[in-house]
Structure 1
Amino acid sequence: MQLLGQHHVSLMTGQAEKNFDFFTRVLGMRLVKKSVNQDNTTSYHLFYGDAVASPGTEVTYFDYPGIGPSYPGVSSISSTSLRVPTTASLEFWASRFDALGIKRGEFVKRAGRDTLFFEDFEGTQLILAADNGEKGVAPGQPWTAEEIPLEHAIVGLGPVTLTVADPKPTALVLTQLMGFRRIGTYPSPAGNFAEIEVFATGEGGSGAEVHLESRPDLPKFRLGRGGAHHVAFRIPNEEEYAKWVNRIAASGMPNSGEVDRDYFRALYFREPNGILFELSTDTPGFDIDEPIDSLGEKLGLPSFLEHRRAEIEAKLRPLKF
């Protein structure tokens, strides 16, 4: 029983059209599913990933027009990383961001990798991390996008950073409940604070790491546009999922119980600092209702909502991409 790495990260946007433009045109990712928030079907849920919607490559956004800004702080997923092949890729992206007027930082070593911080138009905290041939969870398949050479394309999710006031209870959940292993530390880019701890699962590598940052000086995070709602971790199949459901229940951790998202099975719980974790299966995948070649072209609804399609579509605002 072992988690394989990151499955997806879900964030908030107030402008789905601009969000689509940023992730598909600027970053060159593929819209692999255009769906709805299954808990609020008046809200779009957009999934961006690699060429074939591989688990571990998706950044997803809930669309809430008019939502206020996020306020950074503790009890948050403070940054989301995206994998690129090499340091030369970072140089390509730095030049691209400069040409497009996108806010970025300088090259920084994080957990031994060359990285580049940048923000989208809503202040989403994003980091490009260079693989440079390291071993670990395999990258996804790059999507062919205009102006972005395949050798520099984004190929999946990298580490997520969790920022908390007290790292000890979160670390215990990661290691004792979820099976992560602590593999090292690195200096905080924020300056004179505790070092950031690095935890890995499965085969390790960029696609299977959580970075835990202690910032007792910060206020509590308030979720809004550009903020991360939750992070999901990969379970290979339904058989393993059933074991994880039992494991989380036996721990006494309050949780959602089994949730069928149709495209994957899910289980939700909050770790002691209040960050929402999800455990999600790799199967059955996003191609159960659309061919791989046309993913994201129509409104995808899970089977349990299909009978309400007319009602749901009537209440959704039209998206003009």
Structure 2
Amino acid sequence: MELKGLHHVSAITANAKNNYGFYTQVMGMRLVKKSVNQDDTSMYHLFYADEAGNPGTDLTFFEIPRAGHTYPGNNSISLTSLRVKNDEALVYWKDRFNKYQVVYEEIIEQFGRNVLYFRDPEDQRLALVSDETNQGVAGGTPWEQSPVPQEQGIIGLGPSKLTVPQAERTVQVLTNILGFRKVGSYASKGGSAIQVFATGKGGTGAEIHVEEQEGLSKERPGRGSVHHVAFRVEDEAELAQWAEKINQARFPNSGLVDRFYFKSLYFREPNGILFELATDGPGFATDEDIDHLGETVALPPFLEGKRPEIEARLEPLDTNQNG
């Protein structure tokens, strides 16, 4: 058993319409699924990814309209990064961020890669990371109909950073339970040491970065915070093996959950970070034509019978990306 890398990251937005506008029109990602939170069908669940919604390229958002401001802190997924093809693409993004008045910092080198930190309109903590030197997990293919040229487009998820009060407790889970390996470390912008762990083929699409901050208060999540990070599992048979391993380690967990587009298992590590293990398939084209992903509200079969009442509670959101 070996996790293949990052599967998706799920965050919180207070405004699905504005979120959709930013991630499709400014960031150039494709909305591959417009669905609902299966545990609370009153809220949208939006999935942005590459042209086909390949695993490892999905940044997703739950809409919580009354979500307050995030107070950053400990016990959190404190940074989500997105991959671009090369260093030249980062220069393109600087110009694009100026055009759209996106808050960003200057390009820096970190862990042997060029990185561009920025924020979305809800203060989501983000970074673009260059794949110029990447030799690990391959990226996806940006959507050809994106407003961003394919050469500069986002090709997938980069490393997620965890900020925790006791790094060793998280490290033990990553290495002893999930099979990650330590591949190095670097200094944060504030000077603290950040440990880097990789799984599978490694590289930008398969890393978790762990930052220890002992004196920091616990994060109060809201709009712009991250709910969980998910890791790629080959198939349902392997997911069942992971479930057995996590049970043997006596971690409370969700058991196998059918999300229709993939099968999942959720558990919290000792510092409170929510991890998900998710299968690569069957994928987002299961119930929609590949050319029309994300245009209508997609519901898994077990919610289809409740469609009228579910749609009645959702604010209409026009997502016809083909004009």
- Answer whether TM exceeds 0.5 for this pair: yes
Partner of 2:119: 119
Q: CA deviation at 1:243?
A: 0.7
Q: CA deviation at 1:146?
A: 5.0
Partner of 1:230: 228
Alignment of 1:8-157 (within 5 A): 8-145=8-145, 147-157=147-157
Q: CA deviation at 1:207?
A: 0.2
RMSD: 1.0
Is residue 113–residue 133 contact of structure 2 (8 Å, CA) maintained in 1? no
Q: CA deviation at 1:110?
A: 2.1
Distance 2:131 2:5 in 1: 15
- Residues 28-66 of structure 1: per-residue CA shift (max 9 Å, x gap): 000000000000000000000000110000000000112
Partner of 2:270: 272
Stretch deviating more after TM superposition (22-31 or 108-117)? 108-117
Partner of 1:304: 302
Equivalent of 1:198 in 196, 199, 207: 196
Is residue 8–residue 56 contact of structure 2 (8 Å, CA) maintained in 1? yes
Is residue 183–residue 197 contact of structure 2 (8 Å, CA) maintained in 1? yes
Stretch deviating more after TM superposition (141-150 or 160-169)? 141-150
How does the TM-score come out when normalised to structure 2?
A: 0.97
Stretch deviating more after TM superposition (129-138 or 165-174)? 129-138
- Residues 249-291 of structure 1: per-residue CA shift (max 9 Å, x gap): 1110111111110110010000000010000000111111001
Partner of 2:160: 160
Partner of 2:257: 259
Is residue 30–residue 146 contact of structure 2 (8 Å, CA) maintained in 1? no
Stretch deviating more after TM superposition (132-141 or 24-33)? 132-141
Partner of 1:187: 187
* Residue correspondences, number: 319
Q: CA deviation at 1:87?
A: 0.6
Partner of 2:247: 249
Q: State the identity %.
A: 53
Is residue 29–residue 146 contact of structure 2 (8 Å, CA) maintained in 1? no
Distance 2:83 2:175 in 1: 24
Q: CA deviation at 1:143?
A: 1.2
How does the TM-score come out when normalised to structure 1?
A: 0.97
Is residue 28–residue 144 contact of structure 1 (8 Å, CA) maintained in 2? no
Is residue 50–residue 142 contact of structure 2 (8 Å, CA) maintained in 1? yes
- Aligned AA (2:272): G
Partner of 1:289: 287
Distance 1:199 1:30 in 2: 29
- Aligned AA (1:15): N
Q: CA deviation at 1:202?
A: 0.2
Is residue 158–residue 207 contact of structure 2 (8 Å, CA) maintained in 1? yes
- Aligned AA (1:171): V
Partner of 2:2: 2
Partner of 1:171: 171
- Aligned AA (2:124): T
Consecutive unaligned residues in structure 2, runs of 5 or more: none
Partner of 2:215: 217
Distance 1:17 1:6 in 2: 26
Q: CA deviation at 1:13?
A: 0.3
- Residues 50-90 of structure 1: per-residue CA shift (max 9 Å, x gap): 00110000000000112101110010000000000011100
SS at 1:287 equivalent: helix
Q: CA deviation at 1:98?
A: 1.2
Q: CA deviation at 1:133?
A: 4.7
